[in-house]
Structure formats: C-alpha cells, structure tokens
C-alpha cells in the first residue's frame, strides 16, 4: 500500500501502518475481573500493487447480565475482519470493493456482521459446553464494535455503541469524529446482542483525505478518562504530534503505559486503542 510523487528522482514512498494496544482497567485489576475489551488489526494484500488494513475494537459490557462479554468482544473484532476479507476476496481490487461497500454499507454489510457474530457466539457457547436454550440469550456475550477499513483509495468506518473513531490532521490542526458520537443515558449503549442490531450500526465511506491524517480508534474507557472533550481531543493531537516528531517505534514503546496511566487516573475501565497512519 504505497503512494508517492510521479518523479523517479527523489521519489518518496509511503505506506499505511497500524498499531494498537488493549489494557486491563485499573478497576478490573482491583476487582479481579478480566479485560472485557478486544482488538484485532489485519493487513492483507489485495494484489501485487496494494493491500488494505482493518482495525477493529470491541468493548464487552462486563455486567452480571453479560458474563461472557469478553468472549463476545473477541468474536466481534474477528467477525468484522472476516466480513471485509470476504469482500476483497470476491472483488479482487480496490475499485470493485469500493463499489460493493458503497452499495451495501447500510444494510447488507451490517446484517452480515450481525449474522456472523451471532453464529460465532452460538458456536463458542456450544464448544464451552454451556446449555443452549431455544431462545438464545445473546446478552450473555454483549459487546460494542468499532471498525476502520483503510485502502489506498478509500476509508470506511463502522460503529455500533460507545467508542470513538477520530481523524487527526496535524497540518491544519484539526481533529474530528469520522462518526459523530451518540448521546446516551447513563451506561446504555447499542450492542451486538440486540435484535436487529444492524439497524443501529453507523457507517461512513470517504475517499482518502488530501493530507492523509492519522486515524485513532478507542473504546469509551479512554474518552471517559478525561474530564472534558477538549482534554480528550488534545490527547489525540499529542499522540499524532509524537508520532510525527519521534516516530512509530516511540509510539509502540509507550502506548501501553499511556493507556494504563489513563485508566488508573481516569475511568478505571479497560482501554483499547488502534492507530492508522502513513509512514515513509
């Protein structure tokens, strides 16, 4: 996945990179609870000339009604990546995949994610030897979903429930949500365990922005670690600036510590983050 100017002399090539981290929340450590978040990043070749990246995060609800939500979250991130892989396998190139996603982003694609996630958690339930009632209680595995697909030609974002998908443009000092957050009451959130949850999935399809900004995905444990929205946005800009100034290895080395610190001094919740950016 490369881009650059057309001159052979002094040509600079860039490629999309992705990295991420998920950490167990401070309150979960204190109460001996597992990390209910999950993260999965895939980078796959489309053909000899390009590839795509899928970054997916999920936040298991973790309540007493959702005792297996950590497993539901893990199933969610793998399901999302598999749905996009099937699109590229059948299309073979960016242009065809773009048309497929554009035509199906609001109905067929969300329905596929719901269908395949629910099939997967039923399989998990059976494999674990848990009782399998006729009216399957998907609430046991309840989780949210954040997914970002990046190619050389376009970007597609999908969100169900809490969490944030941001675009951060350092050149013009701009940070904004790819999908605007939804106002909720208390701890309520849309979930994969809902009936017809596909109806509540939000999507956003765009061409590659001119300045190729950084993209940041995070579960709500990160946003909730800040007292203000401005503080949350500033932290995203700071990460982007550090990547520009100090490089990818610096971010990889310190990201886990930053998220642990945010949880311990903020929400106390599990936190997951994925970053996608162009690197020369």
Contact between 267 and 224 under an 8 Å Cβ cutoff? The reply is yes
The matching CATH number, chosen from 3.30.479.30, 3.90.420.10, 3.40.50.300, 3.60.40.10, for 28-279 is: 3.60.40.10
Q: Over the stretch 1-22, which tens digit does the pLDDT of each residue have? A: 444 433 334 444 568 899 999 9
pLDDT, residue 75, reads 98
In the chain, how many H helices and how many E strands?
7, 11
Query: Which residues, 6 or more positions from 11, have their beta carbon under 8 angstroms from its beta carbon?
Result: 4, 5
- Residue whose C-alpha is closest to residue 145's, from 196, 75, 214: 75
pTM value is 0.92
For range 66-85, the mean pLDDT = 97
pLDDT, residue 163, reads 96
């Amino acid at each position: 996945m490369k881009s650059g100017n057309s001159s052979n002399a002094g040509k600079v090539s860039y490629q999309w990179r992705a990295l991420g981290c998920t950490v167990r929340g401070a309150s979960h450590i204190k109460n001996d609870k597992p990390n209910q978040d999950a993260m999965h990043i895939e980078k796959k070749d489309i053909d000899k000339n390009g590839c795509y990246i899928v970054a997916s995060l999920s936040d298991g609800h973790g309540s007493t009604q959702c005792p297996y939500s950590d497993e539901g979250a893990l199933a969610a991130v793998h399901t999302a990546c598999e749905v996009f892989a099937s699109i590229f396998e059948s299309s073979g190139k960016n242009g065809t995949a773009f048309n497929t996603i554009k035509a199906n982003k609001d109905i067929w694609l969300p329905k596929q994610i719901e269908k395949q996630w629910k099939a997967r958690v039923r399989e998990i339930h059976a494999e674990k030897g848990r009782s399998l009632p006729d009216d399957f209680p998907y609430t046991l595995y309840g989780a949210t979903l954040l997914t970002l697909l990046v190619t050389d030609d376009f970007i597609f974002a999908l969100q169900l429930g809490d969490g944030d998908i941001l675009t951060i443009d350092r050149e013009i000092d701009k940070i904004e949500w790819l999908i605007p957050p939804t106002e909720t009451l208390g701890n309520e959130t849309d979930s994969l365990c809902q009936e017809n949850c596909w109806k509540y999935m939000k999507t956003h399809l765009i061409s590659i922005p001119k300045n190729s900004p950084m993209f940041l995905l995070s579960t709500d444990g990160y946003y909730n670690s800040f007292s203000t929205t401005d503080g949350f946005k500033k932290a995203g800009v700071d990460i982007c600036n550090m990547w520009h100034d100090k490089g990818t290895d610096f971010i990889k080395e310190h990201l886990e510590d930053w998220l642990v610190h945010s949880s311990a001094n903020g929400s106390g919740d599990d936190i997951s983050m994925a970053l996608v950016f162009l690197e020369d």
